[in-house]
Amino acid sequence: MGALVRWKDLVTDTTDPAGTGRFWAGLLGRLVTRDEDGDVRVDGSSDAERIWVDRVPERRTVKDRVHLDLVGDVPALRRTVERLGGRHVADRGRWTVVADPEGGEFCLFPATEVTGLVVDARRPVEIARWWAEAFGATPRTGPDGLPRWLPVPGAPFDVMKFVAVAEPKTAKNRRHWDVWCEDVPALVGRGATVLREPDDEIGWTVLADPEGNEFCAFTP
């Protein structure tokens, strides 16, 4: 079966779109634009690199289950994070954990590693396979030998990394990804759940994958 979805972009929720947008634009060396509704767009060299920064009323209360892994000169990246208002959280051997000004954590790796969108999962192999079928891709083995890394065609990172965690998902993810999809019913038939249909306010479908991770499907 062919791909049901294609990568579109990344979205992050925040109580401060302007501040969060400036942070990520400064860290990634990108341009930031503020929309009339107060949301912010961080643009890269292609639409796939775009990060939408959306305002939400609720503050961050739990560990983010979706985060980015960035690569480069780790000490220099850490200094940039701190200069832009973020903070150092912890050193974990091969990587360093840092946080944006609102406390959203992400990881810095040496340039020899791979960039990634990391998703906490109760069943990482199974959910990696689900998204592999949706994207028409093939999982790769992670460092533990399990097929839970997923190269996503057209995405602005090397792999999606599905990482095993013990704790269940208890709150809406503050980061999610958008996809292009011509057949939402087919996604539902494969196990996605519709959270919100298109209506007078939105022109896309809000869904959740079998582990509850929210994502938005847009019709090309």
Average pLDDT rounded to a whole number, residues 10-36: 93
What length does the chain have? 220
In a domain, 189, yes or no: no
At 1 the pLDDT is 58
Residue 51 near residue 10, CB atoms below 8 Å? yes
In a domain, 200, yes or no: no
Query: CA triplet 130, 133, 138: central angle to 5 degrees?
Result: 105
Share the mean pLDDT of the chain: 96
| Share of residues in the chain with pLDDT > 70 (%) | 100
Instruction: State the distance between the two ends of the chain, measured CA to CA, in whole angstroms.
Output: 20
Give the pLDDT confidence of 159-206 residue by residue, as tens digits.
999 999 999 999 999 999 999 999 999 999 999 999 999 999 999 999
In a domain, 180, yes or no: no
Give the pLDDT confidence of 144-154 residue by residue, as tens digits.
999 999 999 99
In a domain, 183, yes or no: no
Q: How many CA atoms lie within 13 A of 164 on its CB side?
A: 9
Tokens standing for residue 128: 């990696």
Q: pTM value?
A: 0.95
Give the pLDDT confidence of 86-102 residue by residue, as tens digits.
999 999 999 999 999 99
Phi, psi of 196 (to 5 degrees): -160, 130
Phi, psi of 155 (to 5 degrees): -80, 150
Which of 165, 192, 203 lies closest to 62 in space, CA to CA? Answer: 165
Which of 191, 176, 71, 180 lies closest to 123 in space, CA to CA? Answer: 191
Please state the domain count of the chain: 1
Q: By residue range, what is the domain housing residue 56?
A: 8-169
CATH of the domain at 110: 3.10.180.10
β-pair partners for 41: 33, 52
In a domain, 193, yes or no: no
